[in-house]
Amino acid sequence: MITENISRIKSTLPEGTRLVAVSKLKPVEDIMEAYRAGQRLFGENYATELRDKASQLPQDIEWHFIGHLQAKQLKYYIPFVSMIHGVDSLEHLMDVERAAEKVGRTVDVLLQVHVAQEETKFGFAPDELAASRFSPTDYPHVRICGLMAMASNTPDEARVRADFHAVREIFNHLKTTVFADSPCFRELSMGMSHDYPLALAEGATLVRIGSSIFGARR
């Protein structure tokens, strides 16, 4: 079933969009089935779970951390993680910079932007992003590669599409202003199992899909 699900989802993705298989709370056996189906990019939400899975699974897996960033837990995955999706403040950006410097790495990150209606979601306010300074000299061990966002948790497709459209507009603005000199600023991570087709319509380059691949979490 996992193999078929991956094949079906990938058939819907446009060229240039990558699938992040969200494997949190799933056993390594399920991840290996996805791996044998050709999937190499996996997303995890919990630091120690990511560390433990990475030690048991093939080394060519590209691990993305997609959970809420906590400075004290960076040490568990900063030595090997390929990308951190949810850098939601300047403070956390500096936390990643310090952790990456300690292990002698440059780590790819996405800035999380808050456009959803729920106050419980994290992220930079759009105006804050536009006004912030992201000089490479301030963060020499961090490579800012784009934005990540979650849409409002609602069945109203018009609201969800509007959220994704807003993120795309913010991305385009930053790409031509704040990050105009940064060729690596090109990723837009948005869309999950229930709303990723709407995210694709607004230019998502990374979609984070879990339950539609692995089934509902128990």
- Positions of E strands within the chain: 18-22, 41-44, 62-65, 83-87, 107-112, 142-148, 187-189, 206-209
- For residue 57, what is the domain's CATH number? 3.20.20.10
pLDDT tens digits, 31-81: 999 999 999 999 999 999 999 999 999 999 999 999 999 999 999 999 999
Binned at pLDDT 50, 70 and 90, residue 120 comes out as low
Radius of gyration of the chain (CA): 17
- The pLDDT assigned to 127 comes to 87
105-134: average pLDDT: 86
Summarize the confidence of residues 5-12 as an average pLDDT.
96
Domain that holds residue 89: 2-214
Whole-model pTM: value is: 0.94
Cβ–Cβ under 8 Å, residues 168 and 125: no
Pick the more confident residue, 3 or 217.
3
∠ CA 13-19-22, rounded to 5°: 140
State yes or no: pLDDT of 210 exceeds 70: yes
**What is the per-residue pLDDT for 136?**
78
pLDDT(134) > 90:
no
Over residues 186-196, the mean pLDDT reads 96
More confident site: 218 or 159 = 159
The mean of the pLDDT values for the chain is 94
Overall average pLDDT of the 102-125 stretch: 89
* DSSP SS3 for 89: coil
**Per-residue pLDDT at 191:** 96
Q: What are the pLDDT digits (tens) for 140-184?
A: 999 999 999 999 999 999 999 999 999 999 999 999 998 998 899
Q: What is the mean pLDDT of residues 124-135?
A: 85
Residues 6+ apart with CB under 8 A from 183: none
Count up the domains in the chain and report the number.
1
Question: CB under 8 Å to 58, separation ≥6 — which residues?
Answer: 35
Residue percentage of the chain with pLDDT more than 90: 85
pLDDT of amino acid 107: 97
